[in-house]
Amino acid sequence: MTGYIHARSVSLTFRPPNRAPVRALGGFDIDVEEGEFLSIVGPSGCGKSTFLNVLLGLTKPDGGEVMMHGKPIRGPGSDRAMVFQEFGLLPWRTVTHNIELGLELKKVPADKRRAVADRLVTLVGLSGFEHHYPHELSGGMKQRVGLARALATDPEVLLMDEPFAALDAQTRDLMQVELLRIWREAKKTVLFVTHQIDEAIYLSDRVVVMSKRPGRAKRIFAIKLPRPREYEMRVTPEFNDLKLEIWNTLKDEIVM
């Protein structure tokens, strides 16, 4: 069977020189549907980020297969883009030029790049900051640039590796609302790695809970809350029931 994204028994062991090998992924299975918002939660070091890197094509698994559109992933491709936890903005480039990076690497002509960047600056709400350097922006604004840069090459899938973890709590809440708006407008498939159960439930269609290392998918929760999601939904009994259930699934995996 070939789904949209289809990962079977993905396993990966890191072998750092002069240290014991670390089994990061131990038979991870997942099927992602097109247009879906899927979150992955799990204990620290369970291989969540490693799995995103495998999907991105930066890391090769030693076993199993990861397919997209029925074809194995062999390296980075313009159908996927990553939003990084620490933003990863080039400090010597202004907002606009950071957003244009991926298009530059694809040899898109300058006028087209500028048009895309202008549209995305508006989409992520950074109008007026086009010529600012990253050090002049707040954390939330930096991640808006990170998001715009990922969207610039018009990928089908957005991979988000704890994108809001470096932000303060209020900024994070606002960014979640913004992300849902952008997701609706841009119509992407999103794979979202997070530590926060709230965040995962609020954003997602499904939440995957991973086991401790070597990571596997322990249980998958379908989130049936209606869309568009409202902030108030976070204090409803259904939301809290889900949160408790996910927590109960997750807590046994946490190694202190």
Partner 1 sequence: MAQQETMIAAATPAFAARYRRLLLGCLAVLLFFAAWQAVFLVVPFNPLFISKPSLIAAGYADLIESGDLFHDLAVSAVPFFVGLGAAVMIGVPLGILMGWRVRVGYALDPLMTIFYASPLVALAPLLVIFFGVGVSGKAIIVFSLSVFPFIFNAYAGVHAVDRLLINVVRSLGGGEWALYRKVILPSVLPYVVAGARIAVGRALIGVLVGEFFAASEGIGFAISRFGDLFAMDKMFACILTVMVIAVILTEGIRWAERAAFPWRAEQ
Residue 90 in the binding site for partner 1 (CB under 8 A): yes
* Closer by beta carbon to partner 1, 153 or else 194: 153
Residue in 86, 185, 241, 252 binding partner 1, rule: CB under 8 A:
86
The amino acid occupying position 81 is A
For residue 5, the tally of other CB atoms under 10 A from its CB is: 23
Residue 106 in the binding site for partner 1 (CB under 8 A): yes
Residue 88 in the binding site for partner 1 (CB under 8 A): yes
CB of 131 to partner 1, least distance (A): 11
For residue 43, the tally of other CB atoms under 10 A from its CB is: 21
Residue 58 in the binding site for partner 1 (CB under 8 A): yes
Residue in 73, 81, 116, 246 binding partner 1, rule: CB under 8 A:
81
Sole window of 9-17, 64-72, 75-83, 112-120 interacting with partner 1 (rule: CB under 8 A): 75-83
What does each C-alpha distance from 91 to 83, 127, 137, 145 come to in angstroms? 16, 19, 11, 12
Residue 196 three-state SS:
coil
Residue 110 in the binding site for partner 1 (CB under 8 A): no
Nearest by Cα to 137 from 95, 194, 174, 167: 95
Count of residues near partner 1 by CB under 8 A = 24
**CA distance between the termini of the chain:** 39
Helices (H), the chain: 48-56, 95-99, 101-105, 110-123, 139-152, 169-186, 197-203, 237-251
Residue 252 in the binding site for partner 1 (CB under 8 A): no
> Backbone phi, then psi, for 184, in 5-degree steps?
-65, -45
Residue in 26, 47, 102, 163 binding partner 1, rule: CB under 8 A:
102
* Closer by beta carbon to partner 1, 57 or else 125: 57
Residues 6 or more apart in contact with residue 102 via CB below 8 angstroms: 78, 81, 149, 150, 152, 153
Q: Burial of 88 by CB count in 10 Å (0-12 exposed, 13-18 middle, 19+ buried)? A: middle
Tokens matching residue 30: 């997942």
Residue 99 in the binding site for partner 1 (CB under 8 A): no
Q: How far is CA 165 from the centre of its chain?
A: 12
Binding to partner 1, residues 152-181 (CB under 8 A): 153
* Closer by beta carbon to partner 1, 131 or else 227: 131
Residue 47 in the binding site for partner 1 (CB under 8 A): no
Residue 93 in the binding site for partner 1 (CB under 8 A): yes
CB of 14 to partner 1, least distance (A): 15
Residue 183 in the binding site for partner 1 (CB under 8 A): no
Residue 101 in the binding site for partner 1 (CB under 8 A): yes
Contact residues toward partner 1 (CB under 8 A) are 56-58, 76-78, 81-82, 84, 86, 88, 90-93, 101-102, 104-106, 133-135, 153
